[in-house]
């Protein structure tokens, strides 16, 4: 009979004289008699059941759609959404600008499911009945307004991510010219994307510094920061001919955004924001440096740049904790 890892550990501790036989026997009895947790197994069965149920219902509705009717399907989605939101509302914690106590996993998941069903209902009504006509931005704006209110009322970061995504969809549809899609001119989206990204980042900083839903700051800064950095980098390489914004305007904003993320990373000791600032800052600095090399015909210097920066990357990774001011563990 094979000994369990716990028994082998207890035997080793006894052999080294670190544990008395009576203590080892008591610990062994406790390990044999303690209850076994089925938490993760039950959650896996729950997810599997939800997946099978949703898939089966989808196939059933698709096969019998002519007999059921679109109105019945829409009413069913609306009823299920209302049940999910009503159950979550009954267990909603009291509003606070701090972190609200969790009402439990089931209300949180049902709240998220209710919001997702709202998007399904919107899409279904638009596809079948043209509820919003050609005003696609109205559907995104309605979802964004609802999700922001729900996220703050229920203190739910998952719904907040949905709200930010819906807001980004509204900006992309309503602010950028629709003709950009027809002509594949995606540069027209860079300006609204930069504005939205910087706005979300500023909102995240405000939340953190003023302690108004401080735990929402990560969602605002991670999503907004990535959006602004990608849009600014794209504008930098596309140039003023396609974006209408000169590079001498884009480059300082990009470097300032990277510096702000690095400052916030040191403040919160966050690896993610430090890497975001460092990676995009490296791209912007490299672009600026090669523009200078091109002016002075410094191709040889350009060939030495990447080996030297490789050494810098290694030094950066080695000193990552020191940069973030993370103290080493005490012995």
d(CA 88, CA 91): 5
pLDDT in tens, the chain (331 residues): 456 677 778 788 888 887 788 887 888 877 777 777 777 787 788 778 767 877 777 777 777 777 778 888 888 889 989 999 999 999 998 989 988 888 887 888 889 888 988 988 888 888 888 888 878 788 889 999 999 999 999 999 989 998 999 998 888 755 544 444 444 454 556 778 888 899 999 999 999 999 999 999 999 999 999 989 988 998 888 877 777 778 888 899 999 999 999 999 999 989 999 999 999 999 998 888 888 777 776 666 767 788 888 888 888 888 888 888 776 655 4
Is 215 a member of any domain?
A: yes
Expressed in angstroms, the distance from the first to the final Cα of the chain is 38
Domain of 297 in residue numbering reads as: 175-331
Is 317 a member of any domain?
A: yes
Average pLDDT along the chain: 83
Is 149 a member of any domain?
A: no
What value, to the nearest 5°, has the Cα angle with vertex 212 and ends 171 and 105? Answer: 85
42 within 8 A of 60, measured Cβ to Cβ: no
Is 279 a member of any domain?
A: yes
Is 327 a member of any domain?
A: yes
Q: For residue 2, what pLDDT is reported? A: 56
Report the number of distinct structural domains present in the chain.
Answer: 1
d(CA 110, CA 159): 11
Is 179 a member of any domain?
A: yes
């Amino acid at each position: 009979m094979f000994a369990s890892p716990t028994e082998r550990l207890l035997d080793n501790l006894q052999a080294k004289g670190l544990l008395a036989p009576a203590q080892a026997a008591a610990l062994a009895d406790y390990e044999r008699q303690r209850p076994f947790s089925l938490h993760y197994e039950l959650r896996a069965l729950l997810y599997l059941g939800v997946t099978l149920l949703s898939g089966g219902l989808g196939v059933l509705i698709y096969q019998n759609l002519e007999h059921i009717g679109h109105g019945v399907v829409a009413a069913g989605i609306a009823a299920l959404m209302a049940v999910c939101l009503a159950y979550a509302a009954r267990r909603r914690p009291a509003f606070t600008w701090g972190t609200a106590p969790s009402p439990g996993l089931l209300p949180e998941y049902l709240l998220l499911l209710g919001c997702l069903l709202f998007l399904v209902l919107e899409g279904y009504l638009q596809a079948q009945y043209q509820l919003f006509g050609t005003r696609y931005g109205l559907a995104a704006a309605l979802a964004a307004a609802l999700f922001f209110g729900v996220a703050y009322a229920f203190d739910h970061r998952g719904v907040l991510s949905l709200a930010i995504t819906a807001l980004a969809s509204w900006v992309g549809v309503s602010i950028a010219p629709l003709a950009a899609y027809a002509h594949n001119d995606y540069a027209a989206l860079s300006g609204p994307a930069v504005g939205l990204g910087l706005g979300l980042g500023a909102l995240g900083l405000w939340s953190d510094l003023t302690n108004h839903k401080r735990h929402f700051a990560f969602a605002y800064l991670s999503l907004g920061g990535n959006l602004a950095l990608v849009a600014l980098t794209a504008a930098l390489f596309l140039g003023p001919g396609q974006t209408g914004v000169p590079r001498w305007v884009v480059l300082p904003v990009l470097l300032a955004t990277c510096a702000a993320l690095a400052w916030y990373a040191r403040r919160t000791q966050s690896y993610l924001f430090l890497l975001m600032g460092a990676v995009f800052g490296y791209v912007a600095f490299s672009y600026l440096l090669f523009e200078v090399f091109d002016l002075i015909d410094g191709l040889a210097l350009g060939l030495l740049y990447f080996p030297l920066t490789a050494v810098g990357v290694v030094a950066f990774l080695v000193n990552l904790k020191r940069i973030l001011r993370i103290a080493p563990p005490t012995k």
